[in-house]
Structure 1
Amino acid sequence: MVRIDARIPVFIAQATDIEAPDVAWIVENPEESPWDSRMAGHALGCTCCVARSPVAEALGQLFRARAVGEMPFFTRLGAVPAGPEGDAALRHALETDGLAAACYRLETAG
Structure 2
Amino acid sequence: MVRIDARIPVFFSSTAEPATADVMWLVEDAENAAWDSRETGHVPGCTCCVARSPVAEAMGRLFRARAVGEVPFFTRLGVVPASEGGAVAVRQALETDGLVSACYRLERAG
- TM-score over 0.5 (shorter chain): yes
Aligned to 2:28: 28
Q: Deviations over 1:25-71 (max 9, x none)?
A: 00001223511011113222111100000000000000000000001
Unaligned residue ranges in structure 1 (runs of 5+): none
Unaligned residue ranges in structure 2 (runs of 5+): none
SS of aligned partner of 1:38? coil
1:54 aligns with 2:54: yes
SS of aligned partner of 2:70? coil
Tell me the TM-score normalized by structure 1: 0.92
Aligned to 1:13: 13
Q: Deviations over 1:69-92 (max 9, x none)?
A: 001110100000001100000000
What residue identity is the alignment partner of 1:53? Answer: S
Aligned to 2:75: 75
State the alpha-carbon separation in 2 of the partners of residues 42 and 35 from structure 1: 14
Matches for 1:87-102 after TM superposition, within 5 Å:
87-102=87-102
The offset of 1:17, in angstroms, is: 4.1
- Report how many residues are paired: 110
How much identity, in percent, do the aligned residues show? 68
The offset of 1:102, in angstroms, is: 0.2
Compute the RMSD of aligned alpha carbons: 1.4
Aligned to 2:4: 4
